[in-house]
Structure 1
Amino acid sequence: MATNIALGNAMEVLQHLGDAKPPWDAFLQTSKTLLGADAAAFMMFDGEQKLDLIKHSDSDNSSFREYLDHYYQHDAIAQAASKSPAGQWWDSAELSRAPEARKLPFYADFMPRHRLGQVTALILLAEPGRRMAVSFHRMTARPNTVEEFAKGNARIFTEALLRAVKARVKGADVQLSAIESALSSIDEVVFLVNKNADLMRCSPAAYDFLAEAKMLSPTRRGLTHDVPKVMHSLLQALSMALATSRPQQYCVPLSWGVGVRFDITAAPLNLKFYNESLLLLRARKTSAFDVPDAAELATFFGLTVAEARVLLRLVEGHSPKDIAVANAVAERTVRNQIASLMVKMSCTRLSELVRLGSLLR
């Protein structure tokens, strides 16, 4: 009876893994109770197998600080599971049977000092740039734990958990596709990257955009650039967006007068699985040769048709004298129109007028 109640509680929590803010504390508590563990932890690693985040339940905080600072690099389970598919279980008791494994600091030092008799872990997500797992800790090891979890209530829970993970990932894909569809009419694309500029979610249109800009790595798994300094600056912009939670902008040069403009923001919760370090990039090509339409300028700034044409010429780089010759009018006429533009657009210098008119590029 108690096991059925535990299964019911755990399954109820799984129904909320698709929420904007999933109940991770409740997930860890109910799942460890169902599986008979003393503690549980949720972990995410990036494409370089570096620990991105960890959330734990009923464990000593000092042990997890040690794990984060040092021991995760020697975690035998994390190493063994680095290339395994989603749905696979790993057991420290089985891995430690190898003599070389028992010499690892994770087994020889970390586990004994923190009274960890056994750690079992389930791979939840296995992507090139992101891996996710949930682990369960016991003070006393049990034999044949993986076989035990492959049947009964544990199996029912595991299969439901993996389905919930897939559903959340698919939901994020659908939402990202909706955003890109809305931007496609203005030739913009969006995609998700991690702090290392690895592509986490990228549509065919975004792949084509990056390939044309020669910013797609040979493996098609990350952003790149032929100039190391440019790539370094882009990575800095990504780090700044994560560290400050403030939008960043960065323009990557492609050729003279042409570049790609990136608007960088921390990815919203509904596009992430938990609180991993993901960024949403909105990209579009920019060109110094692009100019706004005269009608757009007239509408946006409340100008006459003649004033809008003068402003357009100024934005294109022409002088008042050039504009007068092109329009077959006196230069004084053009300068009077410029004076009117400055009043209407609240500018005091010609350079301000040009800069403001360029906003519609």
Structure 2
Amino acid sequence: MPNLSQERLLEIIEKIHASALLADGWVAIADCFNGLFHNQYSALLERDSQQRTKIYSFSGELIGHSNTDYTSRYSQKSVTGRACFNLPAGEIFIDLMLPDHSEYIKSEAYQDFFRPSQAEHLLQVNLARGTDRILSFIMRRGGGPAAAYTLEEGRLLKILFPHLRQAAQVWQRLASAKALEEGFQNAMDAFPFGVLLFDAEGRLISMNRVAEKIIRHNDGLVLDKDGKLQGRTPGVTSALHRLLARITHMFDEMGLSADHSMMVKRPSGKRPFSLLAFPLGKNLGSHWFRQPRIGLLLLDPDRSGELSESVMTNLFGLTPAEGRLMSTLVSGVSLKVCAERFKVSEHTVRTQLKTLFQKTDTNRQSDLVRLGLAAGGFFLDG
């Protein structure tokens, strides 16, 4: 076992816990263990029941090879991988513990990958188990038989295991939170209208792509240096702030209401923006993190883009020509302009319109447009 003082051991434990909170924290942990155990490399990886391997963090050097070489060519042939898979979390594995160590030395993974990479010796601990996969922290080094990991080093890893496991749990939670955040952001970006989230002070926390585009054009709405929404006149700005402040104090009421909306005129002369604010739940009252308290829907009636022809075609069983006509009508274009745009007679588009009525079970053009907006409003192109 490395000759560690109590003070040095505590430093390593503190390093593990501090690194767990960083975006690349497991690289820092692996760096620390590389120095402590004189490893060629260390890695946090996942292995499933088919011995397929996914490497999450890696620190060190693979001489003459890459991680891709291992995961694509050797992971499913690894003798040590199969031996470690069924071990419970917290049990230490050293390659010398294999019942038939000679089988490992003769294996393709050893001969073609680990030995040339100067990483033939393995020290591993499983940090977590799922139904068909494990999360493991592994260390490897080379140097011939004399450089094999010792039982003393295994005992040191056993001492550090609870802290590695806790670091892995923190990593899992942070990764899950990040994936959830990215999923919500992608969902918001799919909306054809702007979505903005503000804290209790009216400062922006997040917005989707449509909102970013609207704000960037500076056509009646901007964000100040504090992230607060501003209008083009002091009166509009005051009205915006009053609206958001009113929503902030609505602790229990959820949902949308016409009482929480306003129009914002635009210097360009285009039709005004429509804003609809709504509360996002009770105030947790913490001063240590920013909580989304206000949601704001921002609709631009002049936003470019037409409903996708393919969406209309698939939803209502239309021909390509009928889908093109419906998507264009829904975007606000008249029959006469449709005929000119498609280079056909107005009689032709009126005939197609009658067919559209039959296929969509509507009787008037206004009903057809309303149906198209309701059914395909989230599939705007442009």
TM range (shorter): 0.3 to 0.5
Ranked by relative contact order (alpha carbons within 8 Å, sequence separation 6 or more), the top structure is: 1
| TM-score when normalising by structure 2 | 0.44
